[in-house]
Structure 1
Amino acid sequence: MQIQLKNLSDTDIRIGWTLLCLHIFFMYARPQEMLTFLRPLHLPGLVALGLTAWVLKNFDKQSFQIPSARFVLIFGGLSLISFAWATHTIAITIGITWLIQYLPVTLAVILLVRERTKYKTLLYLWCSVHAVVFFMVFKNGGKGPGDFMADENDAALGIAMAIPIILYFSSWPDLNARQKLFLKLLFLVACAAIIATRSRGGFLGLVTAMGMLWLFSESKMKILFVSLILTLTLGSIALSFLPEGYIEDLQGISDPNDNTRSERIETWEIAWIMFKDNFLFGVGAGNFPWNVASYQEQASWWFADARSLHGRQTHSLYFQLLADLACVGLFIYFAFLFKTMALLYKAQKKVYGISKKKEHADLNTIKGLGMMCRALYISIFPFFISGAFISVGYYPHIVMWGTLAYSTLYILNQYTDSEAYKK
């Protein structure tokens, strides 16, 4: 079913597009962290409020036929109302963030990105903003720009998700040579930025992204051969550029005596106990750290003089949602993820069939959109792997991933008879 959105005036489009671009820029790049004179201006908040006001002015209820908008509304709403049974008010903050900061982005993309040109501009903007993120990672010695990408692990996960999108977008058939070169170089910089974070979870995300890219490649043997040659010829040179102690850090992944590993396992056990005690709705969004101390005595590892873990995060996407929002939250979250993955996979397979026939008038556009469906499908796997060791359940990674996914499917539907974005 093709949804029918109301037409916007040229002025509304210009204002909305400007606010959307600024919002994405401030959300990811966070220039106020580097240019401190911007902090008193509160520009990110003002832009977010402006975008929210624009969405309210141009609101179209048809937008909620797109699953990404429904997901942000429902999951954000659940997080907000979980305050009713939560210990800490952080649930209100999380819910409001999803509904006031993230939902307007999703709705604005639905309202504004309705044709190929705007779609490609959005993708190019998103990739360019990540160039600033990569610069900040190098500048900050492995840390990200701030907020949900401040920590090394958080930054590495976000970058790993961006890698497939940047690489596939660089092969869009009708991009010019300069744009393709920029994106291919950006792909290499992204890989280097993950290494610069020294994050072990981020490295697993990088390996996952590369493995999935190889798995979906049509030249698997060629890639293996080239990789082998490069490893043999340039491997020693590459090792010399790695951060000091990087190899030793990676070796700690499998070390059973590693303190970080032990602490994660301890908190995961507490999260499981917390879930069993609140299996339907959990303890409230973001409330694991405020309940962990009252549950740790039930853990198998606890002893009388054990230190309090009050304020400790779960360090895992899965255990975070398991404890915080339990069965209801997990179902909403992963039902959206798996449904979107299935639609992306189905769409890219359909495009592959069309491109083999070479009969469609808009073949280059369809190929490009098919590649982006594949890129977004691959992009979620680093999130699954790295997220196993990071508390990222409430970060906007999934909001932006879902927003880009359904924007891609919506535009693709205009060129094919695919109905992949249907409910």
Structure 2
Amino acid sequence: MAIPISERDIRVKAQKGLFDLPFYLILIHLFFDYGRPQSFFPIIGALHPGYILHTLLFLCLFLKGKLLNFKNIQTKCFLGLLLLMMLHGPIAVNNYWAYQVWRTITLYFIVYLSIISFVDSFPKIEKYINIWIVINLLGAIIGIKNGGKIPNSGFMGDENDFALVMNMAIPFAYFMFLETNSTKKKILYLSACCIFIAANVASFSRGGFVGLVPVILYCWYKTPKKVLSTVIVAIMISILYFSASSKYWQEVKSIKEENIQKGTGEERIYQWKIGWNMFLDNPLIGVGQGNFPFRFREYEIAAGFYEGLHGRSRAGRAAHSIYFTLIPELGILGILLFGGMIYFSYKDLKWILKIEKDFLFKQQSDKTIQKLHKIRFIIFGITGAMLGYLISGIFLSVLYYPHFWLLIALCVALRNIVQNRV
């Protein structure tokens, strides 16, 4: 005999379905953003999956009443950045690029709001991280086969940008390896760490190497069992050593050789000096997002470099640095908002670790203690990924890429989850 279903049961089931849908849309968006299937199948790109997913996420936020979810300080800082960028729309020299960057960051704001609203449980945040690791693992394998990049795939199509993503992925895989009790998962995570390192090496990126070293050291430092961490780090260093060719080590050694008077190091310092002059002339709000390349020649001439560097102007080129994109383009106000997102995220993660200690002190059940340990390793993964981003990004123009905004979203989501449970 069939059991009748009440109207209330139907309503609850419908709400649950709507609740789960946004989470899976977030995972699909993550796949298209980092997996880049549209690079291999142009017909997918022709369908503009990004626009479809952003629209669906926006509708989910609207229908669930989460569109104005501005209770976290990081969200307010993010909104402040968007308003600052909107201000630059009519006053920037190149309005088109100012608009394009604002539009890109606005779309990531929708994704950010979706993550802090719908990644609202420990299983979901763990699944999100696992999916991200698997996506980057596939990307790493493809990258190794294609010289340290994924061809025709946006920010994964450049060797340096590719290496930065690998540096962000290593801490997540490493600390998830420490967190899990499953032998199969341990093998997967440790294998992923090794493949991410090999992919970094395949990129021949000097900036990638500079970011890789502190990431590995951070993984060792944050491991509770130092003997275990020493063994694992030794394995990671072995992978780095044996997967690297003599040409790779020559590239790494050239970091010392290419200083402020030679090679790309000289070019970067030259661009950063012009960028600093740009900031000094527009200290409060900067010259506008995306406008560094278009204002460069003006300030190059003002600094007396009429023929550029060695007879060639560097106008039209990116700043090749997170910081020298941020400083001249968004000024003091942008620096404070960007820095505020980092500072308050750090405070949130520190608060969660304090909560963990308090709960452990009260001798909670084994299940609760296990969950708290899991949270700790997730925090270490987020922090290590942020470290990889901020250090590797010293030499890369990745400010408007998705990495930073998604990491901040994870911090806020984790804070909200813990706060709701407490």
If the length of structure 2 is used for normalisation, what is the TM-score? 0.87
For 2:167, which of 160, 164, 173 is the aligned residue?
Answer: 160
- Within 1, Cα distance between the matches of 2:398 and 2:356? 32
- Within 2, Cα distance between the matches of 1:369 and 1:317? 29
Moved more, 132-141 or 386-395: 132-141
1:141 correspondence with 2:147: yes
Gap regions ≥5 residues in structure 1: 1-6, 418-423
Aligned residue number for residue 82 of structure 1 = 88
Q: Kindly state the Cα deviation for residue 65 of structure 1 after the two structures are TM-superposed.
A: 0.9
CA distance change for structure 1 residues 281 and 106 in 2, over 3 Å: closer, same or farther? same
Aligned partners of 1:345 and 1:374 also within 8 Å: no
Aligned partners of 1:204 and 1:386 also within 8 Å: yes
If the length of structure 1 is used for normalisation, what is the TM-score? 0.87
Q: Kindly state the Cα deviation for residue 265 of structure 1 after the two structures are TM-superposed.
A: 0.6
For 2:35, which of 29, 32, 37 is the aligned residue?
Answer: 29
Aligned partners of 1:316 and 1:390 also within 8 Å: yes
Partner amino acid, structure 2, of 1:343: D
CA distance change for structure 1 residues 227 and 81 in 2, over 3 Å: closer, same or farther? closer
Aligned partners of 2:322 and 2:393 also within 8 Å: yes
1:337 correspondence with 2:336: no
CA distance change for structure 1 residues 307 and 47 in 2, over 3 Å: closer, same or farther? same
Aligned partners of 1:204 and 1:382 also within 8 Å: no
- Within 2, Cα distance between the matches of 1:166 and 1:404? 16
Aligned partners of 1:165 and 1:376 also within 8 Å: yes
Secondary structure at the residue paired with 1:9? helix
Aligned partners of 2:174 and 2:219 also within 8 Å: no
Give CA-to-partner distance per residue, 1:172-207, whole Å, 9 cap, x none: 34x633233212211211111111111111111111
Secondary structure at the residue paired with 1:307? coil
Aligned partners of 1:317 and 1:387 also within 8 Å: yes
What does 1:55-94 correspond to in 2, within 5 Å? Answer: 55-60=61-66, 63-88=69-94, 89-94=96-101
Aligned partners of 2:148 and 2:202 also within 8 Å: yes
Secondary structure at the residue paired with 2:70? helix
Aligned partners of 2:144 and 2:198 also within 8 Å: no
1:249 correspondence with 2:255: no
Aligned partners of 1:106 and 1:400 also within 8 Å: yes
Number of aligned residue pairs: 404
Give CA-to-partner distance per residue, 1:276-308, whole Å, 9 cap, x none: 110111100010000101111233666588322
RMSD of equivalent CA atoms: 2.6
Aligned partners of 2:197 and 2:240 also within 8 Å: no
- Within 2, Cα distance between the matches of 1:108 and 1:402? 12
Q: Kindly state the Cα deviation for residue 70 of structure 1 after the two structures are TM-superposed.
A: 2.9
Gap regions ≥5 residues in structure 2: 1-11
CA distance change for structure 1 residues 357 and 15 in 2, over 3 Å: closer, same or farther? closer
Partner amino acid, structure 2, of 1:95: W
- Within 1, Cα distance between the matches of 2:126 and 2:39? 28
CA distance change for structure 1 residues 162 and 345 in 2, over 3 Å: closer, same or farther? farther
Partner amino acid, structure 2, of 1:49: T
Aligned partners of 1:348 and 1:371 also within 8 Å: no
What does 1:82-121 correspond to in 2, within 5 Å? Answer: 82-88=88-94, 89-99=96-106, 101-121=107-127
- Within 1, Cα distance between the matches of 2:66 and 2:22? 14
1:363 correspondence with 2:365: no
CA distance change for structure 1 residues 224 and 172 in 2, over 3 Å: closer, same or farther? closer
- Within 1, Cα distance between the matches of 2:115 and 2:52? 19
For 1:265, which of 258, 266, 269 is the aligned residue?
Answer: 269
Moved more, 13-22 or 215-224: 215-224
Aligned residue number for residue 421 of structure 1 = none
Secondary structure at the residue paired with 1:245? helix
CA distance change for structure 1 residues 261 and 384 in 2, over 3 Å: closer, same or farther? same
Percent of pairs with identical residues: 26
CA distance change for structure 1 residues 72 and 137 in 2, over 3 Å: closer, same or farther? farther
1:126 correspondence with 2:128: no
